[in-house]
Amino acid sequence: MQHCEAIKSIINVFNGQFPVVDVTTSAIQATARAMLNVSLPAPPDTVRRYVSDPERLLHCGFPPDRIAQIGPDHFQLRVRPLTWMGLAIEPTAELEIGADEQGRAWARLIDYRLQGHPWLVKNLKIDFRANLTTLEAMSGGRTPMEGWAEASASFPTPPFLAFVAEPVLTGAARTILESFLWILRDRLSKSLEQDFRRWQNSAVQVNA
């Protein structure tokens, strides 16, 4: 009989029905940061002109088919489904992007909505910020760019996972954030120079 009740409890959790557990839960907070180090084969003033259109950087960092513009400097990003402790969640983020004349570009999360497991939809809080700065000194005929991307998540300990040690829950969340940032960094490193050359070619054609 007890075995049947345990099975019912597990089924209820995955159907979004949570048992009442008399435990005090603490907040889980996970943060991950990735350093961005890229360079472009051009002098700093040319790179700064390129960076003045931060939408190009956004499309270098994320799959273009998952990005949609919803207003001036505002974009919607559909993040691929994520799984934490067997619970699936699919965020849709609203990002604000910008750039200045010094060749600094940035992005920040201003809103989001979640689809997936009901408990995560109700309780998960996320944040994202990124910054990329054009340096003044060239090295080996290239202009370096340095920056960072940071993602964070916070939520109370799920009552149905209260038996799991907090470091395990936090570590699993941090691993997901790190994976997200590593993919972003990898895409940016591989796509940035290709897009920069396309931008250069289009500028030459306009001025021809």
CB contact set of 113 (below 8 Å; sequence gap of 6+): 91, 92
Note whether 135 and 146 are within 8 A (CB).
yes
pLDDT of residue 16: 52
Give CA–CA dist 54/132, Å, rounded.
Answer: 10
Q: What is the pLDDT along the chain (208 residues), one digit of tens a residue?
A: 434 444 444 445 445 554 444 444 578 999 999 999 999 999 999 999 999 999 999 999 999 999 999 999 999 999 999 999 999 999 999 999 999 999 999 999 999 999 999 999 999 999 999 999 999 999 999 999 999 999 999 999 999 898 999 999 999 999 999 999 999 999 999 999 999 999 998 866 555 4
Note whether 42 and 94 are within 8 A (CB).
no
The topology (CATH level 3) of 23-207 is Alpha-D-Glucose-1,6-Bisphosphate; Chain A, domain 4 (3.30.530)
E strands, the chain, are: 27-40, 67-71, 74-78, 82-84, 87-99, 104-116, 125-134, 143-156
Note whether 199 and 60 are within 8 A (CB).
no
